[in-house]
């Protein structure tokens, strides 16, 4: 599961944009939560672009925008058979840049948040995007794909967002490729070394938009696998 994350305007994030040919910057945003506008990279007309989208996918066939169903994450294992996600999987894939994402563990009777972040770099999270409506009424929305936790990650949560390595990002974005042929990219893996750091529980409030305060050294670190 991935229900909160941060994206920081730093050399790592800018390097991701440069790698994908995007001449823009991402403004730093902390504690991004479902239904908020988030920065997304997609490809249209053979050009990658950076666009804000609603983080909660709205299927194009929905009668109205709805939050009754949890559409901010999409399970990799069921993408191909999902009524909401199988269509976007084919040709509407995207990347969500993330400097860290947040998970929780229940410890001593309370939910303790942890920031999962690269030791060096930025996450390129695999996602899908969709358009609901047309013209001025159109809403662009996205979802983050999750998979079973890679070895070691289950210490913090049994699932994780799919993190794309640098050599597969362009392929994931290419809409000329049917996404059903890209399912092996969604297997559990860690393309970079990461650390899991305890942070102040004030982040539990989605309205808190300041940088997370660390509460000590990393709980653990994991090497790329």
The predicted pLDDT at position 46 comes to: 94
Secondary structure letter of residue 28 according to DSSP: P
Q: Quote the tokens at residue 5.
A: 């994350």
Show Cβ contacts of residue 175 under 8 Å, excluding neighbours closer than 6 positions.
Answer: 43, 44, 91, 92, 93
Catalytic residue among 36, 49, 77, 103: 103
What are the residue boundaries of the structural domains of the chain, listed by start?
5-106+122-190
* Binned average pLDDT, 10 residues per bin, the chain of 225 residues: 93 97 96 97 97 96 84 96 96 98 92 97 98 91 97 95 97 97 96 98 96 96 95
**Residue bearing tokens 């042929």:** 181
Closest to 56 measured CA to CA, from 113, 10, 20, 2: 2
Topology given in CATH for the domain delimited by 5-106+122-190: hypothetical protein yedk fold (3.90.1680)
The predicted pLDDT at position 64 comes to: 86
The predicted pLDDT at position 196 comes to: 98
| Residue 4 · residue 114 · CB < 8 Å | no
Catalytic residue among 2, 94, 142, 192: 2
Answer yes or no: 142 catalytic: no
The predicted pLDDT at position 65 comes to: 87
The predicted pLDDT at position 118 comes to: 98
Show Cβ contacts of residue 44 under 8 Å, excluding neighbours closer than 6 positions.
Answer: 175
Residues in the chain: 225
Secondary structure letter of residue 150 according to DSSP: P
Q: Quote the tokens at residue 177.
A: 């490729």
The predicted pLDDT at position 136 comes to: 83
- The residues facing 53 across adjacent strands are 38
| Residue 84 · residue 156 · CB < 8 Å | no
Answer yes or no: 103 catalytic: yes
DSSP β-ladder status, 100-107 and 93-98: unpaired
H or E element that contains 217: none
Query: How many CA atoms lie within 13 Å of 1's alpha carbon, on the beta-carbon side?
Result: 13
């Amino acid at each position: 599961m991935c229900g909160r994350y941060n994206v920081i305007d730093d050399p790592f994030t800018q390097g991701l944009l440069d790698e994908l040919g995007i001449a823009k910057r991402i403004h730093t945003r902390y504690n991004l939560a479902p239904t908020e506008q988030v920065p997304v990279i997609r490809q249209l007309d053979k050009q990658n672009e950076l666009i804000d989208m609603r983080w909660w996918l709205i299927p194009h066939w929905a009668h109205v925008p709805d939050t009754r169903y949890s559409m901010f994450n999409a399970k990799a294992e069921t993408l191909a058979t999902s009524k909401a996600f199988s269509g976007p999987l084919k040709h509407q894939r995207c990347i969500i840049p993330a400097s860290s994402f947040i998970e929780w563990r229940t410890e001593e009777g309370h939910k303790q948040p942890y920031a999962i972040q690269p030791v060096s770099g930025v996450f390129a999270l695999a996602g899908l995007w969709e358009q609901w409506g047309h013209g001025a009424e159109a809403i662009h929305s996205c979802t983050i794909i999750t998979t079973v936790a890679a070895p070691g990650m289950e210490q913090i949560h049994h699932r994780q967002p799919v993190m794309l390595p640098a050599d597969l990002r362009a392929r994931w974005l290419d809409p000329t490729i049917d996404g059903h042929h890209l399912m092996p990219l969604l297997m559990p893996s860690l393309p970079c070394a990461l650390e899991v750091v305890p942070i102040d529980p004030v982040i539990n409030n989605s309205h808190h938009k300041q940088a997370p305060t660390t509460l000590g050294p990393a709980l653990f670190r994991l090497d790329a696998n």
